[in-house]
Amino acid sequence: MDRLIHATAADGTVRVISAVTTGIVAEATRRHGTSPTVSAALGRMLTGTLLLGSTIKEFDRLTVKIDCSGEVGGITAEATNRGTVRGFVKNPIAEPPPKPNGKFDVSGIVGEGNFVVIREAGSEIGFRPEPYVGSVPIVSGEIAEDFAYYLAKSEQIPSAVLLGVLLQNTEPFVAASGGVLIQMMPGANDHIVTMIEDTVSRSPHVTEMVKEGAGPEDLARVALGVVHFEVLEEKPVSFACTCSLEKASAMIAALGGAEVQSMIEEESGAVMNCGFCNETFSLATSDLENILEENR
């Protein structure tokens, strides 16, 4: 089961969030039919958004978007405080040649553009205040570095972000996925910060650890080195979408009676697809007639 932990270190001046997201990424890539390189990019994006999303308040929603010039076209992920995340890419089958070292060219399919974070307070209970939107240029396209750059520049929180997705040639194609977010809060000791930076720079790949059975606590322990930490919270996390047949019906009803009547006469029904999870909802003629009747 995928899990996430919140932890604190150095007398509360260092915040650590780590997660194993193998199941989440496997589900997302299966639903969207992504190529190997896009799977790596989407998996990193989902994991990073989940980690950052765990810092928001209950009923809030966090959306992270990469608007880019690369072949992937763009990546969007959305997370809640409850530990759910969903996401999609514009071009799921983009697949550039690998880098000279054989690794996936994630930065290549991302290219240049903007890294955008949208925080919506109370959106899960229908509250609709003006959202907070922060944006910075994409600095590497490798995604982990872009999360760290955004946090440092837009939210003034020095952070280290480790994200990884390991693929294999047989189903499930996602062998391991996980990530760690370390944030230096006000009052953090410079010596502790230097120690953590050094440890993070020498840490083994997250995915190799997850593949060998490491949990979120193990990822945090390796990233922090000798710095002791205390786990404050642990929770399961999952890929989950908010779409439903009821919402699809409401969207069709909002098109107006003339459009619904046209669907009945010309198409004998309606089909809607959710971009976030690729779920398809079909409405028969009788369903559309009920929508017309309910809105007269």
Whether 110 and 72 have beta carbons less than 8 Å apart is answered as yes
Shortest CA distance to 192 belongs to which of 8, 5, 7, 13?
13
> What digits encode the pLDDT tens for the residues 219-273?
999 999 999 999 999 999 999 999 999 999 999 989 888 888 888 888 888 888 9
> What digits encode the pLDDT tens for the residues 37-80?
999 999 999 999 999 999 998 889 999 999 999 999 999 999 99
Reduced to 3 states (helix: H, G, I; strand: E, B; else coil), residue 134 is strand
Q: What is the pLDDT of residue 268?
A: 81
Q: Pick the residue with more confidence: 264 or 31?
A: 31
End-to-end CA distance of the chain: 47
Whether 165 and 39 have beta carbons less than 8 Å apart is answered as yes
Q: What is the pLDDT of residue 123?
A: 64
In order of their start, the domains of the chain are: 3-239 (3.55.30.10), 245-294 (3.90.1280.10)
Q: Which tokens go with 163?
A: 């994200």
> What digits encode the pLDDT tens for the residues 104-149?
999 999 999 999 999 998 766 566 678 899 999 999 999 999 999 9
pTM: 0.93
Q: Inform me whether the pLDDT recorded for 92 exceeds 90.
A: yes
Whether 86 and 29 have beta carbons less than 8 Å apart is answered as no
